[in-house]
Copies of this chain bind each other. A is one copy, B any other.
Amino acid sequence: MLNAATVDFEASLRAALPAAAFRDDTAPYMSEPRGRWAGQGMVVAPGSTQEVAQVVKACADAGVGIVPYSGGTGLVGGQLMPDGPLPVVLSLERMNKIRAIHQMENVLVCDAGVILADVQSAAEDVDRLFPLSLASEGSARIGGLLATNAGGVNVLRYGNARALCLGLEVVRPDGTIWHGLTRLRKDNTGYDLRNLMIGAEGTLGVITAAALKLMPRPARTGAAMMAVPSPAAALALLAMAGERIGEGISAFELMHRQGMDFLAEVGPEVKPPFAEAPEWTVLIELGLPAGLAPEDALEDLFAAAFEDELVTDGVIAQNVAQRQAFWHIRESIPEANRLIGSVSSHDISVPLGAIPEFIATGQQRLAEVGDFRINCFGHLGDGNLHYNVFPAQGRSRADYEAERPRVKEVVHDLVHEMQGSVSAEHGIGRLKVGDLERYGDPVKLAMLRAIKQALDPQGIMNPGAVLRQG
């Protein structure tokens, strides 16, 4: 059993750490983007790895829970603890320095509290690319992005956060520091602790710094929006693009017309690429080496796809502004979704080939539950869809309280039948603990619990996230 962070406990922490480490206004740390839960706890923002270790050690000694807090952009409630004994919310916001850039090695080493956009800029300053990119990049911080193994729009080409990390510094649940901040590309000395910490959502330790991989910047970048008649055609277009352009495809996003309709209805304002929105649109981004023109490659792809009836219309960006306008549409969809207010949102993946069947069957089964608008969009190239279910026109989220659990169950059962994942990139947090129990292989669950018990025997790290508190 955990203990609460009492007034006495807080006083002893205040005596041990600089005043700058404390946050009297805790409100900003107690909400999350979808407004489902309110958090609780005292908030500490250590200024160094040593201070993080001090806080963790104090919590371990007192049996107080710790909720690591990064950018606060997570969508599954991993960043707040709505009930249980009052925890320490440990914010990494003051650890926001880029420690070193090794340009020749294509490595950037930074504190866990650095904001993603700042890493992207620092990479650009040395003519490199840090390819992790997602809608919340202006506020999400590296520690949280790694703790949740964040995905985003460039996973198809560059992999998720896990694939972009060479080393970590981590404060363990007992307050000791694991110095795994290596810049090595290869190191086969023992089990893969780095990848165990990545994606553990702060339940095995606190990431305090990371060595990140930078990539060469593609010489030329281009993008196109293409209208496709069906998800199956989108998949065939992806395969055709792969045959013709290979690894030059940086992103391949699918969007249903519903998203465009939401944007028109509630904003943000965007400039639609087609006079009449097609049922399905794909956004393709290419990054090519010197000597190849993305516009030509996209033109050729479109011509071949049109011949095979895989596309019905298309617009190729002619300049940077147009390319950014395409991405602005894609990146505005989550905000439009938020403004409409979903009945139930799902971040799912299925094997790539199963995508069309998933979309068709999902629609059928939900029609049996009620009258919904489905906004299905996402990272087709990764088999990862954001499959979000909304109220019918003129009705609101509140009208669907009764149906919500059934909607989620229908979608997740289908994903499970198709050997997919009920959390492709957002993680488990607190929202999906029950889903993990319901759909997870019991052998896998036994391993997860054994590892948690082995590395955090007191259960103080992000209590109740990923695994139910024992």
Contact = CB atoms under 8 A, between A and B. Distances in A.
A245 B189 contact: no
A187 B219 CA distance: 31
Contacts of A274: none
Contact of A105 (B196, B246, B351, B436): B351
A102 interface: yes
Contact of A184 (B127, B189, B350): B350
Interface residues of A, number: 97
A185 B383 contact: yes
Contact of A188 (B245, B381, B424, B451): B424
Given A192-B195, A382-B185, A177 B443 contact: yes
Contacts of A178: 441, 443-444, 447
Given A172-B443, A218-B246, A246-B289, A188 B353 contact: no
A218 to B, nearest CB: 7
Given A178-B444, A186-B384, 19 more contacts: A102-B351, A102-B352, A163-B163, A176-B446, A179-B441, A186-B379, A186-B383, A186-B425, A187-B423, A190-B428, A190-B436, A190-B445, A191-B199, A192-B192, A219-B246, A289-B289, A450-B454, A450-B455, A453-B454
13 contacts: A176-B443, A182-B421, A184-B351, A184-B420, A184-B424, A186-B349, A189-B422, A191-B196, A191-B447, A191-B451, A192-B200, A291-B291, A450-B454
Interface of A: 102, 104-107, 127, 148-149, 151, 155-156, 159-160, 162-163, 172, 176-180, 182-193, 195-196, 198-200, 204, 215-219, 235, 239, 242-248, 288-292, 349-353, 379, 381-384, 419-428, 432, 435-436, 439-441, 443-448, 450-455, 466
